[in-house]
Structure 1
Amino acid sequence: MGYFCNHYNCYAKFHRECAEAPKKINHSFHPHHPLLLIDYPISARCDLCGDHILATYYYCVACRYAVHLICGIKPPSLAIEHPLCHDHPLVYSKKEYEKSPCEICEESINGPSYSCLQCHVYFHLDCVHLSKKVNYPCHSNHPLQLVALESLMGCAEKSCFSCLVAPEKFIYHCSICNFSICLNCIKNPPPLVVEHDKTHKHPLHLFSKKIPFSCDVCGEEGHEMPYACVLCAFLIHGECIYLPRVINMNRHDHRLSFTHHIGRNDLICGVCYQTLSQYHGAYSCSVCPYYAAHSQCVLRNGVWDGFDLEGIPDVTENIAPFEVVGDGLIVHFSHKGHILRLHKDNNVTPSNRRLRCEACMYPVGFQSIYVCDECGYILHEKCAYLPTKKRLIFDTAPYTLKSHIIDFIYCRLCRTLSGGFLYISQSYDRGYSAWRYIDVHCVSLYEPFNHKSHLHSLYFHENKSQYCDGCHDVVDSYVLSCNACDFVLCFYCASLPEKICHMNEEHPLTLYFGEKVNNNKWCDRCEYEIEPCKLFYMCYDSGITLHARCVLGDFSRLELGKFVGSNWLSEKFKVVPNNHNTRPLCSQCQSRCKLSIILKQHYEENAYICDNNFILWKIWINTFTYDFILKIAHFFLKTTLLYK
């Protein structure tokens, strides 16, 4: 039982006792001053139990005395008259280190403990309620003896029958039945009988033996102690009994409901893309009849938002980004003042070669576009259809489409600066809110993703330090990779248009990968060699060959003529075309600017920037300094107000 926040996009959850914790307490171990509830992270140890403090805690400003939230609400007893682990009374000791190990688990004591003054033995705070011999409800035939794991020889069971975890040093074991339980499961034994009508109509009994079985709910193989119904020959994992009934996941925009039998044999899981069994349970969408997912896939960390929505009304928001006002006429949310008209079979001419879509900031190309006849506002047809609300794989919170709310963003997925439309989401962590921004190019990617550079379908994966096969850059975020081989594409390469009209070239350029380069093996812009194992652009009509970065550059998604820098930078830059008679000199890399769009420093006469590394460095410095000052000020202000 607990609390969760109903605020939009806030997914904070609290245990009941944590949410109802008082802001000020008088603590038995610190009677001199009251302790104040603080939620600012601190790198310190609890003065009561000795463990690291990572979250909310109680704090004395005068003495710098800090204890965990639970240690503050439920402090350990100063003395235990009848402990389970020992025949004599035990007293609490605050000594940090004891020479003698714990009498129960025989591990060293590196914090407070309980001790017997008569026998001079010590016990961990967690072990004081345990004994070397226990009667376990799931194994009532014989008592379990606490033994060292290294003493179990031969085929003796060394992993826990309940959680399947193999402890490092000690375990409770029955040598007669070869039955083992870890210390954590001894403290929290599973119930012997469970009655849950939504899972099964009969009571489910714990089968106190580790056997291989197939769960009748999720279909996964199990090797632990199952719950069983003898009348129905029904077997189930303990964790599958309490599966949530109605949920949201980060890969689908509609709610998913759990059903015990999916009933169709032609469905593919929307998370792992493996076949779904019609004889087992799964989560399915009532709006999309062909969308379903395994329960084990949906309930993984980072996929499900953690809330069971059963009984909560589904208030479906209108995610349409425009209103249809006529045949081929719409009013888009980003341009409410005027009507946009659909132009199909768009013909690229020298006069409109420089026109760009307001959403993706790419040239209009040959695609159908919506145009405002009054002011020339342009949107690609596919960009006009981008939904205003969308759930994405990158987070469990939904994202909202926004248009030009700030100068520009740096999208960490494609590592690019963008001044077009973006998707934003707000998260809360320990009382602080953080905004996440994603470029519309990254949002437009989907799985399974088919790219002309690879034969197999690609899927989203979160990786660390992996090379992209399209650009050979090292990527430390999400990528699109192949499950059959080691092929990887970063989001920048995956979102490159297959055909683009470059503003300085007469003919359109086509994206290639792995093909033989024509006689000109050098990039016509930077004059470096073209590698056929990388993505590059080429025009067979004119023989022009260009690197992908040389076509688009670092600032191709920024709007020409606009100033950037008011939100993230301490100085302003103007987005300008590189159309001088001679290429300007970059003030950072000290080389001639070769890209078609560059930045000009506002207060300098001939100061240009062609590389976004300088901009990213400035953003990082300013953001780090601002966040550091803000958090320090917040901490001192909050502690001062609470102490008063």
Structure 2
Amino acid sequence: MDSKGVVSLPLIHNHQMMPWNDLRKGDCCGHFEAISDGYYCKRCDFFVHKTCGDGVSEYIEHPSHPNHTLELCSNLRFHCDLCGRRTNYLSYYCEICGFIVDLHCAMYPPPEFIENSERHHHKLTLLKERIAAFDCDAKCGKISGNEFAYKCQECDLTFHVDCVWHPSEVYHPLEVNHSYHPSHPLKLHTGQRPDYSDGACRLCARKIDDRYFYHCSSCNFTLDMRCVLHPPQQSLLNLKAHDHQLTLLPRLDSFTCNACGLKGDRSPYVCFQCGFMIHQDCLSLPRLININRHDHRVSRTSVLGVVNSVCEVCHRKVDWTCGGFSCQRCSGYVVHSKCATNKDVWNGKELEGVPEETEDIKPFVVIDNNTIQHFSHKKHYLRLHVNGVLCDDKKRCRACTHPICLQSFYGCMDCDFILHQNCAGFPRKRWHVLHNERLTLVSYEYDFFQCQACNRFSNGFSYQYSGITFDVGCGSISEPFVHPSHPDHPLYYTLLDEETKSSCNGCNKSSYSVLRCIEDDCRFAICFKCATFPQVVKHRVDDHPLSLCFDKEASGKYWCDICEKETNPETWFYTCKDYRASLHIKCVLGDFSWLMPGSTIDLSELSKVVLNNSISRPFCSGCKMHCIFPIILKIVGTSDKYFCSIECAFG
């Protein structure tokens, strides 16, 4: 629960934070606290305990390292010299001798002596020097090395610090009686969980933190700190989730959640009156939201009711008897609850009670059947030319920056402003799979940008939101996406992880973000860069237009007529009308084909974007070779300094 006002904690975090109540593990020290007060940054999802935020200092004197002052550091991924655990976000460090303690050990230093340890009946003494390796007599099974330890001088036994000293015991008892487990008391555990445990909290299903948790060995019942300190309500009435009173059932039982249609394995809230069951985290599902896959709002419904329907985000079948999200305007448009509220799909804004935006997003005003006034060029009217000219490099669309090539276009009646007919129709605002906020179309500017989907430089139109920028090629892609390289099945956007990332069928490079075929027996995928290559281009190497070729069955050796080097038929290439040439895509397009010739940009130096169409090709100042690419950069104020590629420009 947040409150008014913001707090600056410059030693801990770069952004302003707000007072916040939460029982999660702190990003400051990596531990749980009994109190919920703290500070939170919404931009980074970063939570700091109040005790850490208020108590941290830039420099400290620490009893475990009396000879030198320790300095506060962040993101030092080492091991604490006191407890042996990997340091969390914040720690204290000695530049002179490399000594490091995590924030928790800095705030709660282990005492010099322990008189009444749960592990041992004699007095334990903290050793003054680190020891290289030892077998912990607590039989914890952890590998030790070069750390401090407690020793019993009478028995000659040695223990890890965190096996016998628990700062949490200051505010967490060693044993608790809990309302959800009245049969036996729960004991505080530190270190590795029992082998027979599934490692998750019985109530909330979160993975337990091995440092501190409560456990009953007789019943194999485990609770994390959050659920011990503040357990979920035993019964509640949440009319947004269900019409009747719900009761928590703290059992390990498989069930299907009626709100999202997904399986659960423990502790649902149930309605004994009608058999309704729901995950705890589904209680807070929003009622009305925007998702980045659809132009209209979608609303939560208790029963989807569309038989044989498919989720429009993951494209898997939905259980029509369960709840989900649907569009009231588009019949049959349904989304799983979990898919709709995924952080890559939803911006986190509940829209119930918020009026829907009604602004006009049309990009132009129709003057007559052949004439429009476009928002990017209000001073003149644009007239439609149905038959495009044959790939004239000098006639380029101001939106996508590509030449007018056998395509219908709108041309200004008073100046040289041109837009492809298709580009002229891009809406001024749109939702897009690559971002979960609504993007705005920004018209042509001479300043350039780098598209965050394909990484190309451009100074055409772009779709933007708060520093996120996509060129109109990537920004106009929508689902289902049909590409001529894979005409039989449509493609859908998929964000992959390290284990599932795919190789693009166009360039053979691995990518986390692809447009992929979802058919079970098809692994076709293309990255956004390959998906937006022009299908037809004109190049000086041939009198005819060149076509993008997807022929993966080609065999033998092929040579590029531009660079005179071998090509790989396993990747896409450009070919001429009679298919006698295979030209590298990089050689045909270069790095600057998405920049408007005649414009000036400040890349590594102030440069003019020029066509490489003279009889004698200039020398590149970077690679010292003749420039082979169709568009190059000429350094302003010089007569013979050129760059042919990004690599050459940045050296």
Query: Shorter chain as normaliser: what TM range?
Result: 0.7 to 0.9
- Asked if 1:440 corresponds to 2:453, the answer is no
* Matches of 2:27 and 2:282, distance apart in 1: 36
- Asked if 1:408 corresponds to 2:448, the answer is yes
**1:16-46, Cα deviation, whole Å (9 max, x unpaired):** 2xx43567xxxxxxxxxxx99996369xxxx
Match of 1:557 in 2: 594
Match of 1:460 in 2: 493
* Matches of 2:382 and 2:221, distance apart in 1: 73
Among 352, 356, 369, which residue is 1:314 paired with?
356
* Matches of 2:12 and 2:251, distance apart in 1: 46
Match of 1:215 in 2: 257
* Matches of 2:413 and 2:358, distance apart in 1: 34
- Asked if 1:525 corresponds to 2:525, the answer is no
* Matches of 1:546 and 1:459, distance apart in 2: 29
* Matches of 1:156 and 1:462, distance apart in 2: 33
**1:526-552, Cα deviation, whole Å (9 max, x unpaired):** 222232211112223484442222222
1:501/1:160 Cα in 2 relative to 1: closer, same or farther (>3 Å)?
same
Task: After TM superposition, list the pairs within 5 Å mapping 1:118-267 onto structure 2.
Answer: 119=115, 126-147=168-189, 152=194, 158-164=199-205, 165-168=207-210, 171-267=213-309
Maintained 8 Å contact 1:411/1:418: yes
1:515/1:415 Cα in 2 relative to 1: closer, same or farther (>3 Å)?
same
- Report how many aligned residue pairs link the two structures: 540
Q: 1:225: Cα distance to partner?
A: 0.5
* Matches of 2:465 and 2:247, distance apart in 1: 44
Maintained 8 Å contact 1:507/1:541: no
Match of 1:304 in 2: 346
Letter in 1 for 2:628: K
**1:439-467, Cα deviation, whole Å (9 max, x unpaired):** 11111223343333346543333456865
Letter in 2 for 1:162: L
Letter in 2 for 1:251: R
* Matches of 2:270 and 2:481, distance apart in 1: 42
What SS does structure 1 have at the residue aligned with 2:514?
strand
Among 491, 494, 513, which residue is 1:478 paired with?
513
1:21/1:373 Cα in 2 relative to 1: closer, same or farther (>3 Å)?
closer
1:191/1:593 Cα in 2 relative to 1: closer, same or farther (>3 Å)?
same
Maintained 8 Å contact 1:22/1:37: no
* Matches of 1:201 and 1:327, distance apart in 2: 55
* Matches of 1:135 and 1:521, distance apart in 2: 76
Q: 1:101: Cα distance to partner?
A: 11
Among 574, 582, 590, which residue is 2:624 paired with?
590
What SS does structure 2 have at the residue aligned with 1:382?
helix
Match of 1:331 in 2: 373
Match of 1:367 in 2: 407
Q: 1:486: Cα distance to partner?
A: 4.8
1:127/1:316 Cα in 2 relative to 1: closer, same or farther (>3 Å)?
farther
- Asked if 1:70 corresponds to 2:104, the answer is no
Maintained 8 Å contact 2:193/2:210: no
Among 320, 340, 348, which residue is 2:389 paired with?
348
- Asked if 1:40 corresponds to 2:21, the answer is no
Aligned sequence identity (%): 36
**1:475-496, Cα deviation, whole Å (9 max, x unpaired):** 5x63334455554422221111
* Matches of 1:292 and 1:159, distance apart in 2: 32
What SS does structure 2 have at the residue aligned with 1:324?
strand
* Matches of 1:469 and 1:421, distance apart in 2: 28
Maintained 8 Å contact 2:541/2:562: no
Q: 1:378: Cα distance to partner?
A: 1.5
* Matches of 2:598 and 2:531, distance apart in 1: 28
1:95/1:194 Cα in 2 relative to 1: closer, same or farther (>3 Å)?
farther
Maintained 8 Å contact 2:538/2:545: yes
What SS does structure 1 have at the residue aligned with 2:379?
coil
**1:332-354, Cα deviation, whole Å (9 max, x unpaired):** 1111111122232x24347x464
Letter in 2 for 1:557: W
Unaligned runs of 5+ in 1: 2-14, 24-34, 43-48, 59-66, 77-92, 427-434, 619-644
1:96/1:208 Cα in 2 relative to 1: closer, same or farther (>3 Å)?
farther
Q: RMSD over aligned Cα, in angstroms?
A: 3.7
* Matches of 1:118 and 1:415, distance apart in 2: 59
* Matches of 1:177 and 1:110, distance apart in 2: 33
Match of 1:604 in 2: 638
1:113/1:541 Cα in 2 relative to 1: closer, same or farther (>3 Å)?
closer
- Asked if 1:547 corresponds to 2:547, the answer is no
TM-score, reference length from structure 2? 0.74
1:283/1:403 Cα in 2 relative to 1: closer, same or farther (>3 Å)?
same
Maintained 8 Å contact 1:112/1:125: no
1:200/1:601 Cα in 2 relative to 1: closer, same or farther (>3 Å)?
same
Q: 1:251: Cα distance to partner?
A: 2.5
Maintained 8 Å contact 2:559/2:581: no
Letter in 2 for 1:590: K
Q: Which has the higher contact order (CA 8 A, sep 6+)?
A: 1
Maintained 8 Å contact 1:100/1:108: no
1:335/1:504 Cα in 2 relative to 1: closer, same or farther (>3 Å)?
farther
